[in-house]
Structure 1
Amino acid sequence: MSVDSQPSTRPHVVRRKYLVDTGFQLRYILRLAVLGAGGVLLVGVLAWRIHLSAVEPGATPESLAASGQTLLWLAGVGALGMAGVLALFGLLLTHRVAGPIHVMGLYIATLAAGRYPRMRPLRKKDELRGFFDRLSEAVDRIREREAEEVRLLSEVITALEPLATTLESQAALSILTSLQARKRQATEGPTSGALKSVA
């Protein structure tokens, strides 16, 4: 028996498709571009007006210095304003994405614990609806398959009970019964209340 001493190497995969969810990505790219361009345009127009007032005929060196300070203040306030607007937009975006991700993470944890979650719909403005719908459909299909297996195990157990006369056959029947109980509990039992607190 030979042991492979070389570690397995994964092939280097280069992903060239950047728009994987075109509608979602383009919608937020456009919103960010409009916010950024609008903010820069507003600061630029205000700076141009300050510049025009500073270069009027008869402007004194003091008025030029004052307009330079005004431009600096405008740039600082504009940068802070844009940072605030983009931060609020980022909060809104991440809330619409992080909320569904959080809920789906709880669903996956419930599945990992051997139970099937009760799927609730996403909020009205949540993102990732397509992914959530596919996850819900997969959970429903797996639950249906498990319920069918519970039904088949019940039939097998009922058919084998009169025939289980040896210790080995009774042990095998006991294993089938515990498997049936576990599957029944997973498909019919209550889920954890962790999802009730999710906004």
Structure 2
Amino acid sequence: MSVDSQPSARPHVLRRKYLLDAGFQVRYILRLAALGGGGVLLVGVLAYRIHQAAVRSGASPEALSASGQTLLWLAGVGALGVAGVLALFGLVLTHRVAGPIHVMSLYIATLAAGRYPRMRPLRRKDELRGFFDRFSEAVDRIREREAEEARLLSEVIEALEPLATTQDAQAALSILSSIRARKRQATEGPTAGALKSVA
């Protein structure tokens, strides 16, 4: 068997589908567009009114200059306001996405430790529900498979115990018994209380 000494080049993958979860993505794209567009429109309308008021009053060049400075200040304050609103909206959005990701990462850590977590439902307004449901279903199926394997190991051990007369056979049964115990502990044992602090 020969080992290829050339590093395998990753194939270039061109992603053509950008709306993977259309309901989630379109909802937040429209909300962000409405907030940003609405904020810019509001600043534009106020700036136009200031400009029109200056023109109607037959303002002097100095007054028009002052009006221009007011427009600049208004645009700056408006930009900061829109940025603040979008930042708050982004905080809410990321919390609704980061919360489920955080919970799933705790579940993965529990799985990596050889235990099965007690799954809890997401909060009412959390996102990624479809992904979380598939993740929960996968964990449940793996847990059921582990429990079934522990049951089958019990049957095998019970059938082989009377036949295990040699030291090697007894050592093999001991290994099977430890695997069964580990599977039982993983599927039936209590889980860590690490999820109590999840917001």
Matched to 1:24, the amino acid is: F
Task: Find the counterpart in structure 2 of residue 103 from structure 1.
Answer: 103
Task: Find the counterpart in structure 1 of residue 191 from structure 2.
Answer: 191
Matched to 2:103, the amino acid is: V
Task: Find the counterpart in structure 2 of residue 86 from structure 1.
Answer: 86
Is it true that 1:31 corresponds to 2:31 in the alignment? yes
Equivalences for 1:40-189 in 2 at 5 Å?
A: 40-189=40-189
Shift of 1:120: 0.2
Cα distance in 1 for residues equivalent to 2:109 and 2:26: 31
Q: Please state whether the residue corresponding to 1:114 is helix, strand or coil.
A: coil
* Deviations, residues 122-157 of structure 1 (Å, cap 9, x unaligned): 000000000000000000001011111111111111
Cα distance in 1 for residues equivalent to 2:14 and 2:65: 54
Cα distance in 1 for residues equivalent to 2:3 and 2:175: 35
Percent of counterpart pairs with the same letter? 85
Cα distance in 2 for residues equivalent to 1:102 and 1:141: 22
Cα distance in 1 for residues equivalent to 2:48 and 2:18: 38
Cα distance in 1 for residues equivalent to 2:11 and 2:60: 69
Shift of 1:57: 4.8
Cα distance in 1 for residues equivalent to 2:21 and 2:3: 44
Moved over 4 A (4+): none
- TM-score, structure 2 normalization: 0.97
Q: Please state whether the residue corresponding to 2:115 is helix, strand or coil.
A: coil
Shift of 1:113: 1.0
Cα distance in 2 for residues equivalent to 1:22 and 1:2: 46
Cα distance in 2 for residues equivalent to 1:178 and 1:57: 91
List alignment gaps of at least 5 residues for structure 1: none
* Deviations, residues 84-103 of structure 1 (Å, cap 9, x unaligned): 00000000000000000000
Cα distance in 2 for residues equivalent to 1:133 and 1:10: 31
Shift of 1:170: 0.2
* Deviations, residues 97-121 of structure 1 (Å, cap 9, x unaligned): 0000000011111111111000000
Cα distance in 1 for residues equivalent to 2:170 and 2:152: 18
Count residues with an aligned counterpart. 199
Task: Find the counterpart in structure 1 of residue 22 from structure 2.
Answer: 22
Cα distance in 2 for residues equivalent to 1:2 and 1:116: 40
Matched to 1:50, the amino acid is: I
Matched to 1:168, the amino acid is: D
Cα distance in 1 for residues equivalent to 2:3 and 2:71: 72
